[in-house]
Homo-oligomer: A and B are copies of this chain.
Amino acid sequence: MYPNGPTNHNAPETGRDGVRLIVTRRAGHATSAVKITDVAFAAGVAPMTVSRVLNTPERVSEPTALRVREAIERLGYVPNLIAGGLSSRRSRMISAILPTIASPMFSVPMQSFTDTLSRAGYNVMLGLSGYEEGGEDPLIRAVLTRRPDGLLLTGTNHSPAARRLLADAGVPVVEIWDATETPTDMLVGFDHHELGAIVADFFAAAGHTRFAVLAAKDPRAAARRDGFVSRVRQHGGTLLAAHTLTAPGSIMDGRLALREIAPQLGERTAIFCSSDNLAFGVVTEARVLGIAVPERLAVCGFGDFEMSRSGEPPITTVSVDGAGMGRLAAENLLARIGGGTAPRRVLVPPRIIERAST
């Protein structure tokens, strides 16, 4: 330990007291930002010690740390994580690739994912891939360019090119919102096919024999529909209709679809919608058309959106713990980044929340 300004740690062009002058360092580039050497000079320590105060404070003596923190405060030093990241090969950043955030389906897990990581000092970089096929690959390439410490992907269906990129990058990856036997790396999700089957069982147990299903045009919605349909067949039920709508399914899609199906509805039909948006549209249109819910038409959605919970009638839905999924995904990534292990495959059980629409 020294009094202020002892050994000159390759100190930059500074005024007294560590107040940097604005200096052209690289021709054409004026640099006025305070950097770690400035803080070090002002506190009378080596840059390395400043770095320790910020990253491993337990390895610095309290009086030294105090002086350094005071200098940081006084100079308004904001560490440069780009430089730190290059040196340490850790970006403290995680990328999340989702089809969209304009749906609670993804915004809810995303919110808890971000919150959990934020608490651990990580930031999240967002990539929106849309529902188009092939929207994902360029995004994966783009985010790998920033050397994230981890990656969150939606779904399990990725191109071979994408898989190779991920493998080469050697980054921990979590996939959410789907389940497969062979995840790319880690997985926190559930089986959409099975989910559809569960709904069919639920309807069958309530004595239904006539069924319909509405699904948005996206692979996971299709899996839910297919699971529903095949289980309905197993039960020997009658399938009136299996509509596929644009992705992501909108309320209006649900309304229009019901209007089409309405003439075929008999005494008592059960309809499964691939999202609560569609289900809400169906319930709304049923009211308009004077179709009694649940007496003549039983409706079950998926996603447990607020409008299903708080509308009238409240709508039966299949709920998965989106927030929990986001949190788990974050925790598993953090575990792996920290050098530990994390389960390869975590299944989040979907459960039916029975409400007045069935």
Contact = CB atoms under 8 A, between A and B. Distances in A.
Contacts of A284: 310-312
A149 to B, nearest CB: 11
A85 interface: yes
Contact of A169 (B78, B123, B164): B78
A31 to B, nearest CB: 8
Interface in A54-104: 76, 78-83, 85-86, 89, 91, 93, 100-102, 104
Nearest to A307: B307
Contacts of A145: 78-81
A142 interface: yes
B81 A83 contact: no
A141 B78 CA distance: 7
Of the four ranges (under 10, 10 to 19, 20 to 34, 35 or more), the interface on chain A belongs to 35 or more
Within the oligomer, what is the number of copies of this chain? 2
Interface string A300-318: 0000001101111000000
Given A114-B128, A124-B126, A82 B79 contact: no
Contact of A93 (B79, B141, B146): B146
A250 interface: yes
Interface stretch (A105-113, A173-181, A197-205): A105-113
A150 interface: no
Interface in A24-40: 29, 32-33
A254 B48 CA distance: 56
A95 to B, nearest CB: 8
A310 B251 contact: yes
Nearest to A95: B123
A82 B78 contact: no
Contacts of A29: 89
Contacts of A111: 100-102, 128
A352 interface: no
A115 interface: yes
A250 B146 CA distance: 38
A23 to B, nearest CB: 15
A255 interface: yes
Considering residues A32, A168, A170, which has the most beta carbons from chain B within 10 angstroms of its beta carbon? A168
Contacts of A126: 114, 123-126
A346 interface: no
A262 interface: no
Contact of A78 (B86, B144, B306): B144
A281 interface: yes
A247 to B, nearest CB: 14
Contacts of A110: 101
A287 interface: yes
B125 A125 contact: yes
A127 interface: yes
A272 interface: no
11 contacts: A78-B144, A79-B145, A81-B147, A82-B82, A82-B146, A114-B128, A115-B128, A118-B127, A123-B127, A277-B306, A281-B310
Interface of A: 29, 32-33, 76, 78-83, 85-86, 89, 91, 93, 100-102, 104, 107-108, 110-111, 114-115, 118, 123-128, 139, 141-147, 164-165, 168-170, 250-252, 255, 277, 280-281, 284-285, 287-288, 306-307, 309-312
